[in-house]
């Protein structure tokens, strides 16, 4: 009896300093909830772009680069639950948030006909400086979740970010393109040669970063590109 009471007290103290809170709304998670509460999941607005030809994500790249397919999983609204969830992923060291989001997206898109043609998943890489500060690549965590569901391998080191770019926030389209110019380089051509690559990122705003990375990949012989992100930031 005494031992059980001590264990209960210990768990309560642990929960006080390390609470098991939802990444979206910061309320206590209840039994069987993991990382994100059911209420937050229900409020996240799906785009269903993977079911639509000529969807807004595809249109972002028209006349810029040749892509096969493009989609984003959720609409992104400032101050919304998704913003809080992605903030936890990028700035609160909750790597597992990305894995869970990738799994959720994978379950939705697994039966899309074009998914069967994908050979490899490539997350948008971080620079060495940002990797040192953050400790992980949030896009790679999303890719891991996707890979677990789709059973498609990841090539996380085939493309490098060779330029430590400034934040894209508050930059216009021209400034964003200039910011990511020459930011990426191919490290291992053979891993992507003759492959259909699914390029992964967390948020699509103007598409400048994805476009710059895709341009480098498309220089590889017989390589094709499709794009998927968790969030689509509306204009």
Alpha carbons 150 and 144: distance in angstroms, whole number:
10
pLDDT above 90: residue 171 = no
pLDDT of residue 13: 46
Distance, CA of 233 to CA of 39 (rounded, Å): 22
What is the tally of helices (H) and strands (E) in the chain?
A: 9, 6
Instruction: Read off the pLDDT of residues 54-68 as tens digits, 9 standing for 90 and up.
Output: 999 999 999 999 999
At 10 the pLDDT is 47
- Comparison of pLDDT for 12 and 234, the residue scoring more: 234
Residue 167: the pLDDT is: 65
Q: Is pLDDT above 50 for 127?
A: yes
In the predicted structure, residue 41 carries a pLDDT above the cut 90:
yes
Percentage of the chain with pLDDT > 70? 88
Please tell me the predicted confidence (pLDDT) of residue 11.
43
Query: For residue 202, is pLDDT > 60?
Result: yes
pLDDT for 230 beyond 60: yes
pLDDT of residue 14: 39
**Contact (CB, 8 A) for 138 and 201:** no
Compare 189 and 165 and report the one with higher pLDDT: 189
Residue 132 has pLDDT above 70, yes or no: yes
Q: How many Cα atoms sit within 13 Å of 220 on the Cβ side?
A: 22
Helix (H) or strand (E) holding 121: strand 120-123
The chain-wide mean pLDDT, for the chain, equals: 90
Whether pLDDT at 200 is above 80: yes
Residue 234 is predicted with a pLDDT of 80
Q: Which residue has the higher pLDDT, 221 or 16?
A: 221
Q: Is the pLDDT of residue 226 over 70?
A: yes
pLDDT for 163: 84
- What the chain holds in terms of domains, given with CATH numbers, is 1-41 (no CATH), 44-233 (3.40.50.2020)
Q: Which two tokens stand for residue 143?
A: 């890719």
- pLDDT at res. 189: 97
Tens digits of residue pLDDT in 21-39: 999 999 999 988 999 999 9
pLDDT of residue 15: 45
**Beta sheet of 224-233, edge-to-edge order:** 70-76, 224-233, 196-204, 120-123
Whether residue 110 is predicted with pLDDT greater than 60 in this model: the reply is yes
Residue 161 pairs in a beta bridge with 184
Q: Which residues contact 112 (CB under 8 A, 6 or more apart)?
A: 50, 51, 69
Q: What is the mean pLDDT of residues 102-124?
A: 97
């Amino acid at each position: 009896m005494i031992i059980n009471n001590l264990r209960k007290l210990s768990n309560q103290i642990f929960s006080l300093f390390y609470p098991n809170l939802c990444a979206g709304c910061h309320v206590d998670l209840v039994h069987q909830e993991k990382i994100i509460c059911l209420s937050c999941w229900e409020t996240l607005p799906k785009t269903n772009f993977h079911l639509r030809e000529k969807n807004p994500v595809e249109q972002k790249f028209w006349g810029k680069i040749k892509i096969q397919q493009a989609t984003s999983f959720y609409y992104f609204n400032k101050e919304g639950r998704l913003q809080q969830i992605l903030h936890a992923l990028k700035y609160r060291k909750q790597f597992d948030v990305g894995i869970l989001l990738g799994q959720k997206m994978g379950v939705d898109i697994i039966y899309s006909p074009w998914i069967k043609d994908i050979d490899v998943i490539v997350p948008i890489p971080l620079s060495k400086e940002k990797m040192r500060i953050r400790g992980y690549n949030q896009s790679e965590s999303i890719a891991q979740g996707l890979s677990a569901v789709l059973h498609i391998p990841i090539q996380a080191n085939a493309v490098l970010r060779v330029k430590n770019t400034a934040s894209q926030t508050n930059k216009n389209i021209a400034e964003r393109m200039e910011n990511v110019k020459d930011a990426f380089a191919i490290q291992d051509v053979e891993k992507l040669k003759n492959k259909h690559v699914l390029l992964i990122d967390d948020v699509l705003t103007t598409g400048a970063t994805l476009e710059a990375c895709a341009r480098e990949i498309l220089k590889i012989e017989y390589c094709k590109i499709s794009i998927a992100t968790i969030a689509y930031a509306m204009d």
